[in-house]
Amino acid sequence: MEELRVSGTSRPKAVAGALAAVLREDGRVELQAVGAGAVNQAVKAIAIARGFVAPNGIDLVCIPAFAEIDIDGQERTAIKFIVEPR
């Protein structure tokens, strides 16, 4: 499953396009976000991507979870969103 990282400065529409492309290719994608701003952008991107794939008859579901990731040698807690078709 491909991982996409989202930051607080990520453009939600661009992330949504990438999410939809990976979803069509692999069937599943994981978004990772660290911090409130990044989580906000990720949630917006998921909502936008849902609109992108809905005309193809794909209904998305999102499973949130915590993940421990390494950023510049520091262990950080991220929110991960597993996005897949229903």
CATH of the domain at 7: 3.30.110.20
Report d(CA 73, CA 52) in Å as an integer: 36
DSSP codes of every residue in 25-82: HHS-EEEEE-SHHHHHHHHHHHHHHHHHHGGGT--EEEEEEEEEEEETTEEEEEEEEE
Q: What is the dihedral of CA 51, 40, 66, 70, to 10 degrees?
A: 110
What does the pLDDT average to over 4-10? 93
Q: Residue 79 is part of which domain span?
A: 2-85
**Per-residue pLDDT tens for 33-74?**
999 999 999 999 999 999 999 888 889 999 999 999 888 888
Domain count, the chain: 1
* pTM assigned to the model: 0.89
